[in-house]
Amino acid sequence: MIQVEHLTRNFEYYTKATGLKGSVKNLFHREKLIKEAVKDVSFCVEKGEIIGLLGPNGAGKTTTLKMLSGILFPSSGSARVDGFIPWERKDEFKRKFSIVMGQKNQLWWDLPACDSFYLNKCIFDISDGEYRRTISELSELLDVKDLLNVQVRRLSLGERMKMEILAALIHRPEILFLDEPTIGLDLISQQKIREFLRSYREEHHTTIILTSHYMKDIEELCPRTVIINHGQVVYDGGLLEMNRVMGDKKRLTIKTSAPIDPSCLAPFGTVCSLNGCQATLEIARNNLTQVSSRLLSLLPVEDFTVTDIPIEESVALFYQNR
């Protein structure tokens, strides 16, 4: 459904010194700089698949989505979205997708959301019957049926986000680009939007690319993750496979009946934390059985647990390394 090959996007900008002197100097000589927002990005998305697009701020996630939706032209490379070249902006292509950006509104601020929905109905030439069925179904799923006639500016942030998603789905797009749809929302609103996206994709087989800084969104919705850092793809695979890529390690937490001597833990692995009678070690997976047995025989262990490295930490390591 989506094929991206060596996609690159550069932005030109200029530096300017402060004050009047800097402004006058800028009239005669400007230092031009080039920002590589997206650099040689390649990946594919199958029909009906949902993937998470991760990366630190400024990594190039939003720029990538804007190129895939035809808002921006690339500096080089190619992309196909359901057979269309996005930046050609053909009408047939525009009917295929929707993009929702958590930090930008598409609804009219002073009008009820239903007025914006009707505008989208007219733009996409949707029949009255289909429009009514879509509004009824989606408003029920998103639990906003009683808010359709309320001015958008009087809605809470979570309610507005639900309306934004509803507006994007009026024409039943086959492809949905979601750029931080849960930003700033409370835990309950985030959960409701995740539940809606999960059920909607399963029913309509919509292809979705989701960017988010909330790992809960990615964990619950995206079996596959593409991580972009400094404009480049640094990882493409499942979340559960990250630990293997980063060294295949485990976390062992032990609780003892007596305070633990820090020196006796050092030979077993990396000490992540030590607080009196409780300690957490990071050890290689293939040494787990041996280390556990030795610790149980050496220390008065009352309880111990073994867990994977938290996904947030694995992702953070990708962010930190170029």
Per residue in 197-240, pLDDT tens?
A: 999 999 999 999 999 888 888 889 999 999 998 888 888 988 77
Percent of the chain with pLDDT over 90: 45
Q: Are residues 209 and 275 in the same domain?
A: no
Per residue in 53-90, pLDDT tens?
A: 998 888 889 999 999 999 999 999 999 999 999 999 99
Question: Inter-axis angle of helices 187-204 and 157-168, to 10 degrees?
Answer: 10
User: CA angle 191-179-67, nearest 5°?
Assistant: 155
Q: Are residues 61 and 201 in the same domain?
A: yes
Q: Are residues 93 and 204 in the same domain?
A: yes
Q: Are residues 263 and 235 in the same domain?
A: no
Q: Are residues 142 and 215 in the same domain?
A: yes
Whether this prediction's pTM lies above 0.85 is answered by no
Q: Which domain holds residue 195?
A: 2-242
Q: Are residues 117 and 235 in the same domain?
A: yes
Residue 322 has pLDDT above 60, yes or no: no
For the residues 175-186, what does the mean pLDDT come to? 90
For the residues 17-43, what does the mean pLDDT come to? 85
Number of domains the chain is built from: 2
d(CA 48, CA 174): 8
Residue 253 has pLDDT above 80, yes or no: yes
CATH number of the domain within which 291 lies: 3.30.70
Tokens describing residue 87: 């930046």
Q: Are residues 226 and 136 in the same domain?
A: yes
Residue at which a domain ends, from 242, 274, 292: 242
Q: Are residues 90 and 197 in the same domain?
A: yes
Q: Are residues 173 and 293 in the same domain?
A: no
- Number of C-beta neighbours around residue 191 at 10 A: 15
SS3 258: coil
pLDDT band at residue 51 using 50, 70 and 90 as cut-offs: very high
CATH number of the domain within which 178 lies: 3.40.50.300
Q: Are residues 226 and 287 in the same domain?
A: no
